[in-house]
Structures are given as structure tokens and as C-alpha cells.
């Protein structure tokens, strides 16, 4: 699966890249904020986007809405330390198909990625 990783923390992008590549997925791009994510999505057309919620310039929920407006079939997995019910609900309502809470558990993350492949 071709994946784009979106997170403002470089260490988080590196950790997710390691997990994804270790599971046989191809990381086709990374973005550090929502604006960069929207622009790169159009160019890279990944099969899956992992999206942080809290980022500078444009948050993940706004970026999901923009990406889904352009491509209603986009698969986006939200990843955030903010596991409050309202954020989970907002992420799902904005078009995300699943939500993983930080700190990311490897097995849970890879299960969510596999689910997107179906």
C-alpha cells in the first residue's frame, strides 16, 4: 500500500515510516502540516494517509475535509494524542475511517492500516 504520513513531529513520522515499511508498505511522502498534506495528496495520490490532528497552519480535521472534498474515496487514518470522544467523533465525521491514539501501539496501528487495504 502507498502511504503518506502527516505529522508535525519528525520523530513521529520516522517511527510510522519504520512501522509501515517494516510491514511491507511504501511511504510515498510526508507532510508536517495540513496545508502541505492537501497539496501533496493531490500530487502523490496515496492509497492511505495517516493524519495527526493537532498541527500548525491547518489541523488534521480541516485537512481531512479538504482531501475528502477533492477525493471522496480517500482513506485517512487519524493519529493523535487527543483521544477525547469529541475529537474522535469530529475525525470520523470529517471523513476519517479510523482513529489511533498516541502513543501508538504497533499492533493496533498496523491493524488499522490493514483494515484500510480491504
Query: Residues with Cβ < 8 Å from 104, sequence gap 6 or more?
Result: 15, 16, 19, 79
The CATH H-level (homologous superfamily) assignment of domain 16-116 is Response regulator (3.40.50.2300)
Rounded to two decimals, the pTM is 0.95
Contacts of 98 (CB under 8 A, 6+ apart): 77, 78, 112, 115, 116
* Average model confidence (pLDDT) across the chain: 94
User: What are the pLDDT digits (tens) for 10-56?
Assistant: 999 999 999 999 999 999 999 999 999 999 999 999 999 999 999 99
- Establish whether the linkage from the previous residue to 6 is cis, with ω within 30° of 0: no
Q: What is the pLDDT of residue 83?
A: 66
- Cis peptide upstream of residue 76 (ω within 30 degrees of 0): no
DSSP state, residue 83? -
The pLDDT-based confidence of 87 (bands split at 50, 70, 90) is: confident
Q: Which residue ranges make up each domain of the chain?
A: 16-116
Amino acid at each position: 500500500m502507498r502511504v503518506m504520513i502527516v505529522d508535525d513531529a519528525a520523530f513521529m513520522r520516522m517511527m510510522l515510516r519504520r512501522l509501515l515499511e517494516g510491514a511491507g508498505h511504501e511511504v510515498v511522502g510526508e507532510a508536517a502540516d495540513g496545508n502541505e498534506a492537501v497539496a501533496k495528496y493531490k500530487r502523490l495520490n496515496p492509497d492511505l494517509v495517516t493524519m495527526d490532528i493537532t498541527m500548525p497552519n491547518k489541523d488534521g480535521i480541516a485537512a481531512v475535509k479538504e482531501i475528502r472534498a477533492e477525493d471522496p474515496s480517500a482513506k485517512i487514518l487519524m493519529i493523535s494524542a487527543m483521544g477525547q470522544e469529541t475529537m474522535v467523533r469530529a475525525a470520523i465525521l470529517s471523513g476519517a475511517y479510523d482513529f489511533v491514539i498516541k502513543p501508538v501501539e504497533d499492533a493496533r496501528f498496523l491493524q488499522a492500516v490493514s483494515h484500510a487495504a480491504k
